[in-house]
Amino acid sequence: MSLIMTAIAKNIKVALLQFYAGANKAENIKKATDFATKALKQHPDLDLLVLPECFNSPYAVDQFRKYSESIPDGETTKALSQFAKEHGVNVIGGSFPELGDDGNVYNTSLSFDKTGKIVAKHRKVHLFDIDIPGKMTFKESSSLHSGNKATVFDLPGLGRFGLAICYDIRFPELAMIASRSGAGIMCYPGAFNTVTGPRFWTKFGVARAIDNQAYVILCSPARNPNGGYQAYGHSMVVDPNGDVVVEAGHNEQIVYAELDPSVEKDARTAIPLSTQRRFDIYHDVSVDAKKGAL
Which residue from 263, 275, 278, 157 is spatially nearest to 213, judged by alpha carbons?
263
Which is it for the CA torsion 234, 237, 240, 241, positive or negative? negative
Q: How far apart are CA 143 and CA 127, in angstroms?
A: 10
Which residue from 55, 58, 57, 49 is spatially nearest to 114, judged by alpha carbons?
49
| C-alpha dihedral (241, 242, 248, 253), degrees to nearest 10 | 50
The residues annotated with a catalytic role in the active site are 53, 124, 166
Q: Helices 173-180 and 197-212 meet at what angle, rounded to 10?
A: 30
Let me know if 170 is exposed, middle or buried by CB neighbors in 10 A (0-12, 13-18, 19+). Answer: middle
